[in-house]
Amino acid sequence: MSASSVPWPRWIRERVADALADAVALLLPVACAGCDEPDRALCASCRSALRPRPRRTMTDDIVIVSGLDFDGVAARVIRALKEDGRTSLANALAPALTAAVAAFGHSGAVVVPVPTSRAAYRRRGYRVPETVAARAGIPVARLLRLTRRTADQRGLDRDGRRRNVAGSMRASRAQGLRVLLLDDVVTTGATLAEAARALREGGAEVVGAVTIAATGRRFAHSVHPPDTTRFHA
Identify which has the larger pLDDT, 56 or 3: 56
Least confident piece of the model among 7-11, 136-140, 141-145: 7-11
Asked if residue 233 lies in contact with residue 103, where contact means CB atoms within 8 angstroms, the answer is: yes
pLDDT digits (tens, 9 = 90+) for 13-34: 656 655 655 565 555 668 999 9
Instruction: Decide: helix, strand or coil at residue 5.
Output: helix
| Backbone CA torsion sign across 67, 37, 137, 8 | positive
- Helix H or strand E encompassing 75: helix 72-83
pLDDT of 10: 58
Query: How many percent of the chain have pLDDT more than 90?
Result: 56
Identify which has the larger pLDDT, 107 or 203: 203
pLDDT digits (tens, 9 = 90+) for 158-214: 555 556 565 578 999 999 999 999 999 998 888 899 999 999 999 999 999 999 999
16: left (phi over 0), alpha (psi -120 to 50) or beta: alpha
pLDDT of 30: 81
Q: What is the mean pLDDT of the chain?
A: 82
| Nearest partner of 103 among 47, 63, 49, judged by Cα | 63
pLDDT of 214: 96
135 bridge partner residues = none
pLDDT of 222: 44
pLDDT of 230: 41
**pLDDT-based confidence at residue 99 (cuts at 50, 70, 90):** very high
